[in-house]
Amino acid sequence: MKITKKQAKERISFLREEIKQHNKNYYVDNKPVITDFEYDVLLDELKFLENKFPEFFCEDSPTLTIGSDLQFVNNSDNLKVIEHKYPMLSLSNTYDKGSLYSFNERIIKEVGVDFKYVCELKIDGVAISLSYKDGKLVRALTRGDGVKGEDVTNNVLTISGFPRELPKYSTVKDFEIRGEIFMSFSVFDAINKVREINNESLFANPRNAASGSLKLLDSSKVKERSLNVFFYSVLDHDNSFTNHSESLFWMREMGFSVWDGFTICNNINEVIDFLDKWDISRKTLDFPTDGVVIKVDNYILQKQLGFTSKSPKWATAYKFKADQVSTKLISIDYQVGRTGAVTPVANLEPVTLSGSEVKRASLHNKDQMDLLDIRLGDYVFVEKGGEIIPKIVGVDYQKRDYSCSIPIFPNYCPDCGTALVKDDDESKHYCPNIVGCPTQIKSRLLHFASKKCMNILIGEATIEEMFSLGLLKDISDFYYLNKDNLSLVSRWKELSINNFLNSVEESKKKEFNSVLFALGIRHIGEVAAKNIANHFISIDNIINSSIEEIVMVDDVGEIMARSLRDFLDNKDNIELINRLKEAGLSFSINSVNNRSNILSGESYVITGVFDISREDLKSLIESHSGKVTSSVSSKCSAVIAGQSPGESKILKANNLNIPILSKEDLFNKIKING
């Protein structure tokens, strides 16, 4: 089936937003909603479309960047962000053994000599990098975006499994060592039992629990979580080792915890044997693992093979197939989301899957229910790939009792009773009662207050209570609360009230694009909101625009444009915007933010690693009226190159005689002291 440029642009835009949202679900919220496989399918489709339609290429596309929480979190009041000495890249992965043979053939062709592999289990935890200087631990950083990570040294010091100081006889003194921090299944179960007794929300899986624990600001609480760590890589400037397996043996000798099942394989067939063995044996382990990492052992060959923009060419990860069990479907609930989407969720007879008890599983939508031909009382197959929210993938028809009833998908919203609607080009049913559906209202309140939106200090339970008390009826009510009515909130004393009110006042400083995103308009994600804000400058310009004009915005397709237009055509939403304006929120880009017009009419491409984030560099260029583009073309004014710039960009710039500038060159041009 052929795809037009217009369709491709819209699909690419959708996939980028979708993948970025899933990155947030995984890295920030610790609540992924799709499997690793489903995530990789989306990423592969995006790669294909970007290659087929290079005119829509974007340098910050998820296909070229590492999933991270740093793009979502404002660290001014959290953990310090520090640059890695050596970038922490991600791994390419596959679910197909045939792809491993292709991987092997490519390496044989490129290196032309005999070589060995090292196979290690891929622990499903949180990547960590420890820095040692003169044989002493000086810092521990999370992976972050691969270039910079968060400083969690104090928390990591509560974990055993590594020396704080190396033995005196060690000749390797200055290095970084990489590992994976994880929580065992037994500890995970014990913690969740306590949380259930205390009526606290349960951790979804060990990986989420480990990630959330590592970023607690109270190290004593981290210690209570009994985290573990396995190390898998050491990097030192002096290249002290000739191969990877040698470094693993050295790590173990120095006191670093290393998974003792790692194996040196002489060829790809031995690698396959290793995979087959551990696909079965992993189910007896007390820690989560979702695959095997396969690396070329020899460091000289690794260097020869090199890297892509986000992963080494000498290593890959083989992902195990999702675990699957059969259990009985008892009933189906229909949940309403923030955008009004109604999702069927199955209630199941409890069953153990991937180390934890499963009672509920997603059925996604009515089309999926019809496809499965599911009945109440059926025995269903449940998968939980990647240790995430389980989903029903099939029905055991041989066990079907044909007296079982067919579930009836509701025609009306289960919360407010409004008739549901379904667009022809979507699989979800929606409740259109945006202003009157309680679940949608509470979800929008939570979205509006979230860190990546207005960063108001309030949690889900408090929003629920304030809504019940009538204090919050829509998002504008945040700005009309006072100490008197906040005193009605249970357990809120003067400190909590003041902190909340201060955060509300601080949120008024948020820029227009953040406010636009915080409105919770269906299909309008964080990136689209920023592009729309930058294009139209003010909400009034957007209100007066047509769908055709909105589609002209970068990475905005017709579905997004129609959704935005529908939102602004609703008089209740216009009244809401006016109330937010009166409260002091910004609905335009303030021209004073532009420091000068010195870069007006000029466009730049940013490539490589800098001592400031690319986003800061991009904002600096834009604040002086310049534009940042993703690819080098004849219209490009210059390429701003940091360390390890993209070779293809530099080559193309040289061929087109486009200047290549350093960050300092740019600063000098706009007369800023770097």
List the structure tokens of 428: 């979800």
| pLDDT greater than 70 at residue 544 | yes
Both structure tokens of 446: 């939570």
Query: Which two structure tokens, joined as six digits, stand for 435?
Result: 């202003």
Mean pLDDT value of segment 224-253: 93
Q: Which residues are catalytic?
A: 122
Residue 405 lies in a domain: no
* C-alpha dihedral sign at 235, 238, 240, 245: positive
Whether 576 shows a pLDDT value over 90: the answer reads yes
- pLDDT score, position 73: 45
Alpha-carbon span 586 to 571, nearest angstrom: 20
Q: Which residue has the higher pLDDT, 196 or 108?
A: 108
Q: Which of 556, 583, 610 is the last residue of a domain?
A: 583
Q: pLDDT averaged over the chain?
A: 86
CATH number of the domain that residue 452 is part of = 1.10.150.20
Using the predicted structure, report yes or no on whether residue 22 has a pLDDT greater than 80: no
- State the total domains in the chain: 5
Same domain, 314 and 334: no
Please check whether residues 345 and 232 belong to one and the same domain: no
- Express each pLDDT in 586-637 by its tens digit: 998 864 445 677 887 788 988 887 777 677 788 788 778 788 887 788 888 9
Residue pLDDT, tens place only, 305-321: 998 767 899 999 999 88
Residue 217 lies in a domain: yes
- Torsion sign across C-alpha atoms 373, 374, 378, 384: positive
In this predicted structure, what is the pLDDT of residue 77?
41
Averaged pLDDT, 158-165: 93
Distance (Å, whole) CA 391 – CA 497: 40
Helix (H) or strand (E) holding 18: helix 5-27
pLDDT in tens, 55-93: 776 766 777 665 555 544 443 345 688 888 888 888 888
The CATH number for 188's domain is: 3.30.470.30
d(CA 242, CA 219): 38
Nearest to 507 by CA among 591, 451, 588, 464: 451
- Choose the weakest-confidence range: 219-228, 233-242, 591-600: 591-600
- Please report, rounded to a whole number, the percentage of residues in the chain having pLDDT higher than 90: 44
| pLDDT value of position 30 | 54
- Could you tell me if 456 and 373 lie in one domain? no
Same-domain status, 527 and 568: yes
Q: Are residues 296 and 178 in the same domain?
A: yes
> Does some domain include residue 409?
no
Same domain, 205 and 180: yes
**Which range is least confidently modeled, 56-70, 330-344, 495-509?**
56-70
For residue 19, the model assigns a pLDDT of 82
What is the structure's pLDDT at 31?
61
Query: Which pLDDT belongs to residue 503?
Result: 94
Bridge partners for 347 per DSSP: 331, 360
pLDDT at 328: 94
Q: Which domain-ending residue is among 273, 292, 319? A: 319
DSSP state of 337: -
| Residue 223 burial (10 A CB sphere; 0-12, 13-18, 19+) | middle
Rounded CA-CA distance 217/307 in Å is: 35
Q: If you average pLDDT over residues 344-356, what whole number do you get?
A: 84
The structure tokens listed for 415 are: 């919360």
Least confident of 27-41, 364-378, 403-417, 628-642: 27-41
Query: Distances from the Cα of 50 to the Cαs of 117, 161, 333, in angstroms?
Result: 32, 43, 39
User: Do 552 and 649 have their domain in common?
Assistant: no
Within 10 Å of residue 278's Cβ, how many Cβ atoms?
22
Q: Is 188 helix (H, G, I), strand (E, B) or coil?
A: helix
Are 268 and 143 part of one and the same domain? Answer: yes
Write out the two tokens for 639.
Answer: 């390429």
Residue 433 lies inside a defined structural domain of this protein: no
Contact predicate 53/8, CB 8 Å: yes
Mean pLDDT of 28-49: 71
Per-residue pLDDT for 28 more than 80? no
Q: Identify the domain containing residue 346 by its residue range.
A: 324-399
Instruction: Please check the confidence at residue 103 and state whether its pLDDT lies above 60.
Output: yes
Residues 56 and 90 in one domain: no
Beta bridge partners of 628: 604
Same domain, 390 and 472: no
For the stretch 577-599, what's the b/e string if a residue is b when 16 or more beta carbons lie within 10 angstroms of its beta carbon? bebbeebebbbbbeeeeeeeeeb
Quickly list H helices, 32-135: 36-52, 97-111
Helix, strand counts (H, E) of the chain: 24, 21
Burial of 69 (0-12, 13-18, 19+ CB in 10 A): buried
For 127-151, how does the pLDDT look when each residue is reduced to its tens digit (9 = 90+)?
999 999 999 999 999 988 778 888 9
Over residues 445-501, the pLDDT tens digits come to 999 999 889 999 998 889 999 999 999 999 999 999 999 999 999 889 898 899 999
Do 33 and 84 share a domain, yes or no?
Answer: no
In a domain, 416, yes or no: no
Q: Is residue 125 part of a domain?
A: yes
**Same domain, residue pair 328 and 266:** no
In the block, residue with structure tokens 């919220």: 29
What value does the mean pLDDT take over residues 524-546? 88
CATH for 32: 1.10.287.610
Top pLDDT among 584 and 618 is at 584
Q: Given phi > 0 = left and psi -120 to 50 = alpha, else beta, which region is 586?
A: beta
Q: Is 538 part of any domain?
A: yes
Q: Which residue, 646, 642, 647, 645, is CA-closest to 664?
A: 642
Residue 527 in domain: yes
Tokens read off for 300: 């000289």
Burial 490-501 (b: 16+ CB within 10 A, else e): eebeeeebeebb
**Domain containing residue 359: CATH number:** 2.40.50.140
Residue 429 · residue 337 · CB < 8 Å: no
Q: Which of 319, 344, 361 is the last residue of a domain?
A: 319
pLDDT, position 482: 93
What pLDDT digit, counting tens, does each position of 363-406 carry? 888 988 998 899 999 999 988 754 456 888 889 888 888 888 99
